Chains A and B, each alone.
Chain A
Amino acid sequence: IAGITQAPTSQILAAGRRMTLRCTQDMRHNAMYWYRQDLGLGLRLIHYSNTAGTTGKGEVPDGYSVSRANTDDFPLTLASAVPSQTSVYFCASSDTQTGDTQYFGPGTRLTVL
């Protein structure tokens, strides 16, 4: 079934540890995105990639990094996790880069202790 997969589904992490959240899409979409969802704050964009080989910063990029080595994969890395990064993380993709309809993965629930 076409779509976006994310791994892991959930993770509990000690503060200071490094963590990579994985995201893969099979729709051959050019653009991909990482959001975090927090109660009362909605979905906030962390990083995005308009096409393979390029990345950009969103609204809340600090503490996160991304890479886009190919069209399908867009991993999000927390180099040294902090408790404020406890959140639900969603990966999304869209065919074009300019506000086109985005398709979301099922999310990763991350708890940093």
Chain B
Amino acid sequence: DQQVKQNSPSLSVQEGRISILNCDYTNSMFDYFLWYKKYPAEGPTFLISISSIKDKNEDGRFTVFLNKSAKHLSLHIVPSQPGDSAVYFCAASEDKLIFGTGTLLAVQP
């Protein structure tokens, strides 16, 4: 049973607009959440994280929101750029990281 779910396999956004990637989880004991970005033929790279004691964390164009009551996590990218096109994985941790299935973001010029 998938504890971390990314229900949208893909997302297409115009350059300059906002990209919103969503992630849902089932385990209320998760206390740390991360987003990774993956380009083809490369390993995932860490993007941004948030602790369960916060509801928002911002780093430049990237903001992660956490809604604990809904067990929902989202990543906002604004403005989106063509170089943001990649697969995005959310991950949650109580002890070990549990990854979602990934969302392929395509930013159209």
Instruction: Give me the interface of A with B, judged by CB distance under 8 Å.
Output: 4, 33, 35, 40-45, 48, 58, 90, 92, 98-99, 101-107
Choose among B34, B36, B97 the residue with the greatest number of A CB atoms under 10 Å from its CB.
Answer: B97
Nearest 10 Cβ contacts at the A-B interface: A99-B93, A104-B43, A42-B101, A43-B99, A42-B99, A104-B44, A106-B43, A101-B46, A99-B32, A105-B43
**Chain B residue contacts of A107, Cβ below 8 A:** 41-43
Does B59 belong to the interface (CB within 8 Å)?
A: no
Counting contact residues on chain B (CB < 8 A from A), the size range is 20 to 34
Judged by DSSP, the binding face of A is strand
Known: A33-B96, A42-B101. 10 other contacts (CB 8 A): A35-B99, A40-B9, A42-B6, A42-B89, A42-B99, A43-B91, A98-B95, A99-B94, A99-B97, A104-B45
Cα–Cα, bound, A35→B36 (Å): 14
In the assembled complex, which residues on chain B have CB atoms less than 8 Å from the CB atom of A92? 43
- With a cutoff of 8 Å between Cβ atoms, the chain B residues found around residue A35 in the complex are 99
Is B102 in contact with A42, judged by CB distance below 8 angstroms? yes
Cα distance, A35 to B97, chains bound together (Å): 11
Is A98 a contact partner of B93 (Cβ separation < 8 A)? yes
Distance to closest chain B CB from A3 (angstroms) = 9
Q: Which residues of B contact A45 (CB under 8 A)?
A: 96-97
Chain A residues near B31 (CB-CB < 8 A): 99
What are the residues of chain A within 8 A of B99 when measuring CB–CB? 35, 42-44
